[in-house]
Structure 1
Amino acid sequence: MAAPAAALTRDEAVDHCINKANTYSYAQVVEGCTVLIEAGDLSSDGQATAYLLRGTARIELRDFGGAETDFTQSLALEPQENAYLARSVAYRSQEKYDLAVSDLNKAFSLNPSNALTVAERGRVRHQQEDYAGAIKDLDLAIAMDPKLVSALAWRGDAFMTSGQSDRAIADYTRVVELDPKYTDAFLNRGSVYASQQKYALAVADFTQVVTLAPTYAEGFTERGISYWALGERVRAIADHDRAAELDPGDVIKHMARCMRRIFANIELETAYAACTRAVELRAAPEIVYFHGVASLKTERWAEALADFQDGLNRDKQRAGAYFGQGIAKLRLGQREEGEADIARAEELDPKVAETYATYGITP
């Protein structure tokens, strides 16, 4: 049995928590601050600082409840702007938005010249879906500091989600002028361009995303969608492949690999394997349905039949499942039953055959 790790000395704890916190891992900062707090011999100011620093490290470790408790302890000892700001982050991260706004108001009352406090309040109001309130706060923050990149980016987000696309683009453009490495601004501006069907501009922005963050799966996913809209199917499929490789636990990314190939009628065995992986991750009705489509495309008639029967066991009114089941039965020689299923599908949805035609599948 390994010997337990030796406790930190006081000097080591001071280094971990206060003097050299930036050189240690967040877990080590928590450890050092804990040693100092539990020793009980710090001054009131020192104790407040230790709680503040431990809470900040816990934020980075995504222990938001622990961080909230630490910031509350710090504020009880010494009410200060930084602690209110920090606790607002812990509240926001736990979706305690009203409490976050309250703390930001307190921080602002202590320092009315801090534009970032106003911007953070706008960010929280955006998360509350109070878009008008968010934009009002972010307008004020930008008036206080016209080069505050985070405020411009968050106002762009508020404009985007409230349907003000051109104003969102203007803000994101200003962000990347000030900070050419602000990945999310490129990502979000690309999304707005895509929503406006300006796919070439969207591709340019998503290319910036994957250049700046080559392991960011969403950048490849979004670029793949825009490439597809431009008719560049091979590039689109390559991007969806890369996204799934980077985020192998995401069902939707495997579904994209599958369905893009089915629509393009290429690499059907790869499509089938991708849909199979998606079902392994989550056997939801829609995913099993598309696995059935992939099974039809690869002439796995019995598997397709099982998939569509699964769908009908969950939803007897699903036209696509009846249609797919009917085709599988036809291919298996069960003509009368297959024709009956297809007729039932067309009763439920007169356009179901058109949908299957987009997959390249006809009776």
Structure 2
Amino acid sequence: MNKFFLIAFISMSVLFLGAFSGSFEDAEKLTVEGKLDDALKVYKSILDRDSTSARAYRGIGLALWTGGRSDQAIKFYERALEIQPELVQAHTDLSIIYSALYQHKLAIQYAEKALQISVDITNQLNYANVLWRAKRYEDAAQQYQKVISYNDQNIDAYIGLGSTYLALAKLNDALDVLNLAIKVDSENVDAFFNRGVVQSKQGKYDQAISDFQKVLDLQPNYPEVHFQIGYAYQLLKRYKLAINTYQKSLKIDSYNAVVYYHLARCHALEGNINIAKRLRQKAKNFQEYNDHIEEARAYINKYPDKPEGYMRLANLHTQRKEWQEAIWNYQFAISVDSKS
């Protein structure tokens, strides 16, 4: 056991106070139910009986990751793989964690390793998703197609392929795939949302609004849908409706620079020049912040073993009082720095 893992293990000991016993099934059920501290106690009791249980270390990693403690989770996943290098679930989980952390090279490596161990449909789909998040869209499209060739009812693969074609500006292909997705699942909000975006880009604004309204009917707080409806109204020159809809979008995401920009544009077209100026300045300020976020993420992807990128990201999240994200990145900075 290396010293960094030992430190992480000791730091978790406060969660394991008191006698606790149970099975893997108990721990996994507790994790699904969100009773993470209890799940951790069960896994610890399993390790007390068998200190070389890779499944238990992976379970602790999963519980920590579920609770938002990715930096600590990674150490337990690594320990699981030291014991059992072919533990496919650990490779898959780490690919998702690193992808969420914008460390795409590592994410792809773990996803590929999972596929080498097992070519089941779950790992095939995860590999496609990891490629998509890394913006390797052509590769992602091929992988989604492979999943569909194995299972032509896989809704996630259809949505992934549709969103990939959308990213590649292959709008007709995207529309065809998303129509198939809706045939597979006629109430899938992601399918309707993506089809709405495609139709908006094709100039079919009324059809797009209809799809977006379907999303709202199914999931009222779906991210971005109010913005997309507002944008369609804006392109139809129905500026008052666009303004009202953009304002609804800002109630969900009050820092969205793009929404502020378009809201400013609509107010300007309605003759509300002073309001438009104020909103434009807000859009500029938020966009500068977003640019700094993207720069920090790009730095992390390029230099995942340096603490500076995590520190930059943590400081930026602190500015917006996004405390949990700030804490995660400060913890990663400390963890990375301790290894250098």
Q: TM-score, normalised by structure 2?
A: 0.69
The corresponding residue for 2:61 is 55
Provide the C-alpha distance between the structure 2 equivalents of 1:198 and 1:7, rounded to a whole number of angstroms.
60
Say which of 10, 23, 34 aligns to 2:33. 23
Higher mean C-alpha displacement, 10-19 vs 246-255 = 10-19
Provide the C-alpha distance between the structure 1 equivalents of 2:280 and 2:134, rounded to a whole number of angstroms.
38
Say which of 76, 80, 95 aligns to 1:74. 80
Say which of 102, 115, 126 aligns to 1:95. 102
What one-letter code is carried by the residue in structure 2 that aligns with 1:208? Answer: K
Provide the C-alpha distance between the structure 1 equivalents of 2:158 and 2:24, rounded to a whole number of angstroms.
38
Superposed counterparts of 1:229-240, under 5 Å:
229-240=235-246
**What do the CA deviations read for 1:58-111 (whole angstroms, capped 9, x no partner)?**
333443333322222122223322222112112222233333333333322333
Does residue 178 of structure 2 align to residue 172 of structure 1? Answer: yes
Q: Confirm or deny: 8 A CA contact 1:186 1:205 kept in the other structure.
A: yes
Provide the C-alpha distance between the structure 2 equivalents of 1:222 and 1:66, rounded to a whole number of angstroms.
38
Pick closer, same or farther for the CA change 1:176–1:219 going to 2, 3 Å: same
Q: Which of 1 and 2 has greater Rg?
A: 1
Shift of 1:44: 5.0
What one-letter code is carried by the residue in structure 2 that aligns with 1:100? Answer: A
Shift of 1:182: 2.6
Shift of 1:246: 2.0
**What do the CA deviations read for 1:10-54 (whole angstroms, capped 9, x no partner)?**
14898973453323344x3565367447xx513256x32232222
The corresponding residue for 1:259 is 265
Say which of 67, 70, 76 aligns to 1:64. 70
Pick closer, same or farther for the CA change 1:246–1:109 going to 2, 3 Å: closer
Q: Confirm or deny: 8 A CA contact 2:43 2:59 kept in the other structure.
A: no
* Partner-residue secondary structure (3-state), 1:197: coil
The corresponding residue for 2:41 is 32
Pick closer, same or farther for the CA change 1:81–1:192 going to 2, 3 Å: same
Aligned residues: 275
Q: Confirm or deny: 8 A CA contact 1:18 1:50 kept in the other structure.
A: no
The corresponding residue for 1:183 is 189
**What do the CA deviations read for 1:191-246 (whole angstroms, capped 9, x no partner)?**
11111111112111211222222123510011000012123222211111111122
Superposed counterparts of 1:209-224, under 5 Å:
209-224=215-230
Does residue 149 of structure 2 align to residue 143 of structure 1? Answer: yes
Q: Confirm or deny: 8 A CA contact 2:58 2:77 kept in the other structure.
A: yes
Q: Confirm or deny: 8 A CA contact 2:178 2:191 kept in the other structure.
A: yes
Shift of 1:265: 2.4
Provide the alpha-carbon RMSD of the alignment. 3.3
Provide the C-alpha distance between the structure 2 equivalents of 1:217 and 1:125, rounded to a whole number of angstroms.
22
Pick closer, same or farther for the CA change 1:108–1:284 going to 2, 3 Å: closer
Shift of 1:273: 9.5
The corresponding residue for 1:203 is 209
Pick closer, same or farther for the CA change 1:272–1:96 going to 2, 3 Å: closer
The corresponding residue for 1:131 is 137
The corresponding residue for 2:48 is 41
Q: Confirm or deny: 8 A CA contact 1:16 1:29 kept in the other structure.
A: no
Provide the C-alpha distance between the structure 2 equivalents of 1:85 and 1:101, rounded to a whole number of angstroms.
10
Say which of 227, 232, 244 aligns to 1:226. 232
Shift of 1:127: 3.0
Shift of 1:143: 0.8
Shift of 1:148: 1.3
What one-letter code is carried by the residue in structure 1 that aligns with 2:186? Answer: P
**What do the CA deviations read for 1:296-319 (whole angstroms, capped 9, x no partner)?**
xxxxxxxxxxxxxxxxxxxxxxxx
Higher relative contact order (CA 8 A, sep 6+): 2
Structure 1, gaps ≥5 residues long: 286-363
What one-letter code is carried by the residue in structure 1 that aligns with 2:115? Answer: F
Provide the C-alpha distance between the structure 1 equivalents of 2:16 and 2:142, rounded to a whole number of angstroms.
53
Provide the C-alpha distance between the structure 1 equivalents of 2:280 and 2:142, rounded to a whole number of angstroms.
48
Provide the C-alpha distance between the structure 2 equivalents of 1:36 and 1:281, rounded to a whole number of angstroms.
51
Pick closer, same or farther for the CA change 1:280–1:42 going to 2, 3 Å: farther
* Partner-residue secondary structure (3-state), 2:169: coil
Give the % identical residues. 18
Q: Confirm or deny: 8 A CA contact 2:15 2:40 kept in the other structure.
A: no
Pick closer, same or farther for the CA change 1:260–1:91 going to 2, 3 Å: same
Q: Confirm or deny: 8 A CA contact 2:260 2:283 kept in the other structure.
A: no
Structure 2, gaps ≥5 residues long: 1-13, 290-340
**What do the CA deviations read for 1:271-302 (whole angstroms, capped 9, x no partner)?**
369629937965969xxxxxxxxxxxxxxxxx
Q: TM-score, normalised by structure 1?
A: 0.65
Say which of 85, 91, 94 aligns to 1:84. 91
The corresponding residue for 2:19 is 9
Q: Confirm or deny: 8 A CA contact 1:13 1:35 kept in the other structure.
A: no
